[in-house]
Amino acid sequence: MGKNLYLCAFLCTLVIMIEYIKGNLADLTPTYAVIEAAGVGYAINIALPSYSALVGKENTETKLFVTEIIREDTHDLFGFFTRGERELFLMLMTVSGIGANTARMIMSAYSASEIRQIIATGNARALSQVKGLGPKTAQRIIVDLKDKVLKVDLENQESGGKNQDGLLLSAEIDNEIKQEAVSALTMLGFAAAASGKVVDKILSAEPNAGVEQVIKQALKML
């Protein structure tokens, strides 16, 4: 009995480091990608920065850096276009009360560079605009990660590293953008009706906005 309880507790928080999955990008949405490798299709959760980097690369060979998270009731893959995005994701998850989905929500609301700047400058107000993050949790993220973020930024400066952030500029028509944005928001846990109204409001004000930009703004308004 004691052994089983120990095993359950271990599996509930187990993070296995698969370095990356490389293969054909079979499907892509703002919240997940499917990479086919050796005849197996891997459904991989992604955040908006990775989505933007993958747009236009469907049916070509793609590589995502991966973190595998196993809990007692789920087995999920989270993928990232760069190692830096994965490092930030794992860093966010070290904060008490921040799980994988909340970390992905943060990374979809802001770019990696924006998150680092928010934490480094102690901007708890900006963090608390993300769904599910109250002022106390936002402040905890800053307290726990500020020194780590400053250290990583210093190392990146010394190595000449670059951060890749981009906006999706390849929208075809407003209806397609709305459908993709509402679908992504629904998968992130928001009601479809409320998401649709917010997306309509954003597109009315900014008709040339891309999917990523629309979703980012919607995450701050819902």
**186, pLDDT greater than 90:** no
Tell me whether strands 40-45 and 61-71 are parallel, antiparallel or unpaired.
unpaired
In the chain, where the domains are located: 2-80, 84-159, 174-221
What is the C-alpha separation between 164 and 82, in angstroms, rounded? 8
% of the chain beyond a pLDDT of 70: 82
Kindly report the average pLDDT of the chain as a whole number: 80
Q: For the chain, give me the number of helices (H) and strands (E)? A: 10, 6
pLDDT of residue 36: 95
Give pLDDT, residue 22: 94
The confidence score (pLDDT) of residue 207 equals 76
d(CA 48, CA 71): 24
Angle of CA points 110, 51, 57, to nearest 5°:
150
The average pLDDT across 106-115 equals 89
Sign of torsion, CA 178 183 186 191? positive
For residue 48, give the nearest of 222, 218, 201, 221 by alpha carbon. Answer: 218
What is the pLDDT, as a whole number, of residue 141? 93
Q: Which residue has the tokens 């989905």?
A: 101
What's the first-to-final CA gap in the chain, in angstroms?
Answer: 45
* Residue 183, pLDDT score: 83
Q: What is the mean pLDDT of residues 18-37?
A: 93
**pLDDT exceeds 50 at position 138:** yes
Longest dimension (CA), the chain: 60
At residue 153, the pLDDT reads 53
- Structural contact between residues 23 and 37, judged by C-beta atoms closer than 8 angstroms: yes
Write the CA distances from 65 to 2, 46, 83, 138, 190, integer angstroms.
36, 10, 6, 27, 27
Which CATH topology does 84-159 take? DNA polymerase; domain 1 (1.10.150)
The string over 57-93, giving b where at least 16 C-beta atoms fall within 10 Å of a residue's C-beta and e elsewhere, is eeeeebebbbbebeeeeeeebbbbbbebbbebbbbbb
- Record the pTM: 0.67
- Examine the pLDDT at 61 and tell me if it is beyond 70: yes
Q: Would you tell me which CATH number, out of the four given (3.40.50.10860, 3.40.50.300, 2.40.50.140, 1.10.645.10), belongs to the domain 2-80?
A: 2.40.50.140
Q: Are 48 and 107 in contact (CB under 8 A)?
A: yes
Domain 174-221: assigned CATH number: 1.10.8.10
11-20 pLDDT per residue, tens: 444 444 678 9
Return the HEC string of 119-161. HHHCCHHHHCCCCCCCHHHHHHHHHHHHHHHHHHHHHHHHHCC
The predicted structure's pLDDT at residue 12 = 47
Percent of the chain at pLDDT above 90? 30
**For residue 168, what pLDDT is reported?**
31
CA angle 162, 167, 173 (to 5 degrees): 160
In degrees and rounded to multiples of 5, residue 149 shows phi and psi of -65, -45
